């Protein structure tokens, strides 16, 4: 039975060794699985790293483009700001010139208005004097008309008086002639 027990013992040793081997293989499989998972994670990390690196490169490229665009736009902005400054200074000069011209025109206008006011005042004074002179002339004309009327009246009165006087003188001369003719013996009606 030594052989039977040896076989059993061998079987146990072999069985134990096989179990150890299976356990070892199982551990190795688990270890390989862990390693594969780690490698997969590392692979994923490496892929993520590559993606991140590519993204970073793209970002750097975009940043460089943006920086170049910013630089170009900054130049344009500086140029535009320069133009704005020039135009602002020009506008200030033109504004000052306009204000000076406007002030000059205001002063001239004020002088002209004062001059016009003085001329209007003079014209009003002259018109007033003319009205007074016209009133005086009208009064004088009325006086002249009155005097002419009185003169015409006096002339008419004087003419009538002269005519009457002439008639009296004629009558008187007739009487004288009559008296003289009577006295001298001549017939009447010799002179008149």
Residue 74 above 50 pLDDT?
A: yes
Instruction: Give the total residue count for the chain.
Output: 192
pLDDT in tens, 3-14: 666 777 777 777
pLDDT in tens, 174-188: 888 887 787 876 555
Radius of gyration over every alpha carbon of the chain, rounded to an integer in angstroms:
76
Tokens 């033109």, residue?
A: 94
Tell me the C-alpha distance between 8 and 15, whole Å.
10
- Judge contact between 175 and 190, C-beta under 8 A: no
Q: Which of 162, 151, 192, 150 lies closest to 175 in space, CA to CA?
A: 192
Q: Which two tokens stand for residue 176?
A: 């004288």
Tell me the C-alpha distance between 86 and 104, whole Å.
27
Q: Looking at the whole model, is its pTM more than 0.75?
A: no
Tell me the C-alpha distance between 102 and 25, whole Å.
107
């Amino acid at each position: 039975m030594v052989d039977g027990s040896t076989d059993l013992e061998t079987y146990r040793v072999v069985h134990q060794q096989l179990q150890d081997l299976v356990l070892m293989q199982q551990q190795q499989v688990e270890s390989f699985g862990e390693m594969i998972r780690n490698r997969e994670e590392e692979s994923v990390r490496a892929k993520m790293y590559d993606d991140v690196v590519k993204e970073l490169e793209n970002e750097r490229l975009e940043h460089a483009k943006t920086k170049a665009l910013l630089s170009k736009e900054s130049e344009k902005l500086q140029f535009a700001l320069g133009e704005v400054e020039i135009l602002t200074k020009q506008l200030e000069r033109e504004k000052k010139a306009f204000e000076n011209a406007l002030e000059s025109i205001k002063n001239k206008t004020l002088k002209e208005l004062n001059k016009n006011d003085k001329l209007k005042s003079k014209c009003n004074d002259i018109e007033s004097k003319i009205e007074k002179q016209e009133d005086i002339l009208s009064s004088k004309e009325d006086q002249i008309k009155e005097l002419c009327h009185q003169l015409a009246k006096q002339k008419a009165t004087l003419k009538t008086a002269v005519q009457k006087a002439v008639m009296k003188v004629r009558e008187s001369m007739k009487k004288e002639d009559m008296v003289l003719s009577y006295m001298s013996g001549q017939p009447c009606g010799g002179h008149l």
